[in-house]
A and B are shown apart, each in its own frame.
Chain A
Amino acid sequence: MRPLRCRTARRCRGICPRCAAGLLQSPPTDFSGDSARRLPPFDPPAPADLARLFPGLEILELIGKGGMGAVYKARQKQLDRWVALKILPPSIGEAPAFAERFAREAKALAKLNHPGIVTLYEFGSVGQAPDERGEVGAVPAPLYFFLMEFVDGVNLRQLLQTGRVPPREALAIVPQICDALQFAHDQGIVHRDIKPENLLLDRRGRVKVADFGLAKIIEPERGCLTRSNAHVAGANGLQADGQTPVAAGEPPALRELTDAGKVMGTPRYMSPEQAEQPGEVDHRADIYSLGVVLYEMLTGELPGKELQPPSRKVQIDVRLDEVVLRALERKPEQRYQQASGLKTDVETITAGSAKSEVRTPKSEGEARSAAVEPRHPRQLW
């Protein structure tokens, strides 16, 4: 039996209390996020604790939690509509100049009005974060929040967990994402954290991109994402997701927030320049991340060190290889320069294949994955 990584002598029935605490942080239904959630958290307040801070809202339940905050489903009483309330980790307010940055960035985001982007209704800060009845040393801090459109559906991560996304669905989702990205990019806003968790699909199969620009609000100046908890990465040579090795030449972790709210990056979807030259990031970083997402949708896997074209792994139109590989070019200048360009190519393939049998390198008679439907996303459930 391999020795356990944690070498504490104080064990309770063979279990180290600290390690147990790490495991117990995650909600019982969480599967893929096991390792990702084991960082010292931010513990989201219970809905009842939040209620007094948001008198106009009826806060129902916690629907999501991550390094960037917690999201609750709520009802805005006066307007009689569902909303998503996102609160940031309380300690975030302690970062210098945060309040000013928050106001500036959030204003820009509130102007993003597009059917493919989760609308930001309101933002600001309220009272004090709920404490632990004085048992834990509670430092009063304003609670920063966003009030957003509530999307009734799933995110792409959940869809991916059910298996590979059939090519026709992937190709129906991508153009919508491109539209949203192009719209934001035209306004000078880069997302910086495109990943399946941020791509929401409502019941009609429409895509909405969430958390635009949030990374820039949380991480100052550079606007890029920090590496995760350094001690986790150091201890076992792996990053927070427990799979990706820490690169030897990786830049040191940027200034961390307090231990209550370490920002977790999503290294798997991050463009090379985001990791290496964070100050040089522009909208093409989003295109790279989209490339990773597309690759994952088509093949069920993330692109590895040796980038294998998707058509070598699954039966898809070989022309899609070019789209994906171009989006995943390490040098931004060699990628698609506009999200709309990616969309055009995808739609060309889609339209072209609707009539004829698709050319694949190995034809084993699986017509299902070969057929590509036109643009309308089919009802996903």
Chain B
Amino acid sequence: MSTPGTADSPASPPLFVTTRWSVVLAARDPAAPGSREALETLCQTYWYPLYAFVRSSGHTPEDAQDLTQEFFARLLAKDYLRVVTPEKGRFRTFLRMALKRFLANEWDRWRAQKRGGGRTPLAFDTNLAETRFQQERADTLPPDHLYERRWALTLLDQAMVRLEREYATRGRGAEFLALKPHLTASHGEIPYAEIATALAATEGAARVAVHRLRKRFRELFRQTIADTVATPEEADAELRYVLEVLSRG
């Protein structure tokens, strides 16, 4: 998934800042500049875990699409931000709690006036969503766990996209392709000599290149997480939690 509006290139740092959840929280006023874009960007990025949650809660694909859209519409209208709750510190938990409440309370009411709104603020590919959902471990994981797993994978995906884009904008796309297969390899398994050949560089340079890639990946992953929480302390805790989820595979 691409993230329109997220500028990772050094040329436009101000936009990058507005993707933070903290910005959204700070600007409860829907008219505050940057706040709406920030929320839209976040929703655009993380809609799939929510869709997966709704689907695995037992709704049909059609209903799930409508529900997810409706939920985001309300979110973007800042309805839910007006309620002060403890889990606000992390976007992930906030979304999940808000969605649960929405499904529990609003489902009946909304269903009665279904398809009356006509607003589609978010363009997400519902066919793609359903296809992906079919590939999930939906039969083995309860909705909460599915959501968490999908969230963690989305973060991973985000970080990879950013990483690739960084290398591309600096004209180092070929280097990225050569290094990428070794991103998570354990130290003793990395064939530096091969990489050196592929890059037409010395083995020493190959080592540095691999090291830099891994280091930058970690940094970007942390930044991606930081975007979804309100404070740096939250970021540490969120990182630990996400890694734990990822470790389950």
- Residues of A whose CB lies within 8 Å of any CB of B are 1-2, 4-6, 8, 10, 12-29, 31, 34-35, 38, 40, 43, 46, 48-49, 132-133, 135-136, 232, 236, 238, 241-243
Tell me, rounded to whole Å, the shortest Cβ–Cβ distance linking A59 to chain B. Answer: 12
Contact B185 A40 (CB under 8 A): no
**Which A residues touch B194, using CB under 8 A?**
1-2
Q: How far is the CA of A185 from the CA of B191 in the complex (A)?
A: 44
Contact A12 B181 (CB under 8 A): no
With A17-B249, A23-B217, A24-B243 in contact, is A4–B152 under 8 Å at CB?
Answer: no
Question: Contact between A46 and B246 (Cβ–Cβ < 8 Å)?
Answer: no
Distance, CA A301 to CA B26, complexed state (A):
54
Return the chain B residue nearest A31 by Cβ: B211
Instruction: Using C-beta atoms within 8 Å of the partner chain, give the interface range for chain B.
Output: 35 or more
Q: Which B residues fall within an 8 A CB radius of A?
A: 152-153, 156-157, 160-161, 180-181, 183-189, 191, 194, 211, 214-215, 217-219, 221-222, 233, 236-237, 239-241, 243-244, 246-249
B186 engages A242 (CB within 8 Å)? yes
Give the docked Cα–Cα distance between A113 and B240 (Å).
38
With a cutoff of 8 Å between Cβ atoms, the chain B residues found around residue A24 in the complex are: 217-218, 221, 239, 243, 246
Whether B184 contacts A34 by the Cβ 8 Å rule is no
B249 touches A18 (CB 8 A): yes
What's the A-B contact tally at a CB cutoff of 8 Å? 108
Interface pair B218/A4, CB less than 8 Å apart: no
Report whether B187 and A35 are in contact in the complex, using a CB–CB cutoff of 8 Å.
yes
Is there an interface contact between B214 and A34, defined as CB atoms closer than 8 Å?
yes
By the criterion CB–CB under 8 Å, are A6 and B184 in contact? Answer: yes
Extra inter-chain contacts (20) besides given A20-B156, A31-B211, A35-B187, CB under 8 Å: A1-B194, A5-B186, A6-B184, A12-B156, A13-B156, A15-B183, A18-B248, A20-B246, A21-B244, A22-B184, A24-B217, A24-B243, A28-B215, A29-B215, A38-B186, A43-B243, A46-B236, A48-B233, A132-B240, A136-B241
CB-based contact B184/A23 at 8 Å = yes
Look across to chain B and name the residue whose beta carbon is closest to the beta carbon of A6: B184
Pick 23 A–B contacts, CB within 8 A, sort by A: A5-B186, A12-B157, A12-B160, A15-B160, A15-B183, A17-B246, A17-B249, A20-B246, A21-B244, A21-B247, A24-B217, A24-B221, A28-B222, A29-B215, A34-B214, A35-B187, A38-B186, A46-B233, A132-B244, A133-B237, A232-B186, A236-B189, A242-B188
Among A4, A15, A26, A243, which residue has the most Cβ atoms of chain B within 10 A? A15
CB-contact partner of B249 in A8, A28, A29, under 8 A: A8
Query: B238 → chain A, closest Cβ, in Å?
Result: 10
Are B152's CB and A17's CB within 8 A?
yes
Which chain B residue has the least Cβ–Cβ distance from A10? B249
Which listed residue, A5, A23, A43, touches B240 by the CB 8 Å rule? A43
Closest Cβ of chain B to A158, distance in Å, is 16
Q: Are A35 and B188 in contact (CB under 8 A)?
A: yes
A15 touches B184 (CB 8 A): yes
Q: Knowing A2-B194, A46-B233, A242-B188, say if A17 contacts B156 (CB, 8 Å).
A: yes
Q: Which residues of B contact A18 (CB under 8 A)?
A: 246-249
In the complex, the answer to whether A19 meets B184 with C-beta atoms within 8 Å is yes
